[in-house]
Amino acid sequence: MPELPEVETVRRGLEPAMVGARFTKVMQRRPDLRFPFPEKFAERLEGQEVRALGRRAKYLLADLSSGEVLIMHLGMSGRFLVTKGGETRMPGEFHHEHGGLGAHDHVVFQLSNGASVTYNDARRFGFMDLVPRSEIETCKHFAAMGIEPLGNELSGETIATLFAGKRTPLKAALLDQRLIAGLGNIYVCEALFRTGLHPEAPAGSLVTKAGKPTEKAHQLADVIRDVLSEAVTAGGSTLRDHAQVDGSLGYFQHSFKVYDREGKPCVTPQCTGVVERLVQSGRSTFYCPTCQKRSRAR
Ligand SMILES: [Zn+2]
């Protein structure tokens, strides 16, 4: 499943192909993906210019000259292919030959700059929607959404506000989309490891009695930003899909310090610990029991 860094990588890859260009033709090849396409989807896009391409959590947001925003979500297996001047590339992934439309190419955007952007989604958990710009914050996709982890909003202070009094395990609180949006399992494991925090420690242990952030809360905010930025720089990672669909592998996985390393020695110098796995809310957590002690939240 594409995580936030992959979505950001895709955004950066699509930006030069889409921003400043008009949709000259939109081919919608099915009535729905995970949800039905909005009414008159192609008609509402054709002739409109893409003014900017943003991202909120794992959603891509194309700001249109019509005053609407095209919301695009990659779901589990969604990907974009950009073709321009005979060359095809897949932002965030790799170069390959793309001959004609495949069975899973569901939407094709032709743009006034000569680029063509194809949305491919084998499992169809992705979706697209059109929402007036003035209603973006309150629309169903974003109304209950937490803060953006790559933005300036995330700080020790915000963590203190969000986690105060919470007995929920730290891992679960960090994955709660209503608190912080778009932080995936891999990156939460890595961030907790780098901060030396036990995944089962109560979220509230990062907050002092006076409601102030602990030293670890400040550290965690910085580490989350670092882990995500490093992954964006490395071009994102999509472990399972990469391995299954095309055999190529993401880049960032090579620098995972705990994720998927159960039974392997901890990478911290001088630490003799072995990475363990536990299951929290049905998802694997990897951690070093020596580096990540419960009592170290402060
Ligand atoms: Zn360790």
pLDDT at 190 over 60: yes
Higher-confidence position of 88 and 276: 276
Please confirm, yes or no, whether 3 is among the known catalytic residues: yes
Give the pLDDT band (50/70/90) at residue 88.
low
Asked whether the predicted pLDDT for residue 178 surpasses 90, the reply is: yes
Contact 170, 188 (CB under 8 A): no
Which residues lie below 8 Å from residue 84, measured CB to CB, with a gap of 6+?
17, 113, 114, 115, 116
| CA of residue 250 to ligand 1 center, whole Å | 25
* Helices and strands in the chain, H and E counts: 7, 11
**CA 271 to ligand 1 centroid distance, Å:** 5
Residue 58 catalytic? Answer: yes
d(CA 208, CA 164): 8
Residue 283 is among the residues annotated as catalytic for this protein: yes
Q: What is the pLDDT of residues 226-263, one digit of tens each?
A: 999 888 877 644 433 433 333 333 444 556 899 999 99
- 127 burial (CB, 10 Å; 0-12 / 13-18 / 19+) is buried
From the CA of 257, how far away is ligand 1's center (Å)? 10
Where residue 96 falls among pLDDT bands split at 50, 70, 90?
Answer: very low
* Stated pTM of the model: 0.85
Task: Kindly give the distance from the C-alpha atom of residue 200 to the centroid of ligand 1, in angstroms, as a whole number.
Answer: 16
Q: How confident is the model at residue 279, as a pLDDT? A: 95
Options 58, 166, 171, 216, the catalytic residue: 58
Question: DSSP letter at 203?
Answer: G
Position 68 pLDDT exceeds 50:
yes
Phi/psi of residue 105, each to 5°? -85, 100
Residue 93 has pLDDT above 80, yes or no: no
Beta strands in 66-164 (DSSP E): 68-73, 78-84, 87-89, 105-111, 116-121, 127-132
pLDDT (0 to 100) of residue 296:
54
- Given a cut of 90, whether residue 43 has pLDDT beyond it is yes
* Distance from Cα 193 to the centre of ligand 1, integer Å: 8
Say which residues have a Cβ less than 8 Å from residue 240's Cβ, sequence separation at least 6. Answer: 1
Concerning whether 2 is annotated as a catalytic residue, the answer is: yes
Ligand 1 centre to CA of 100 (Å) is 50
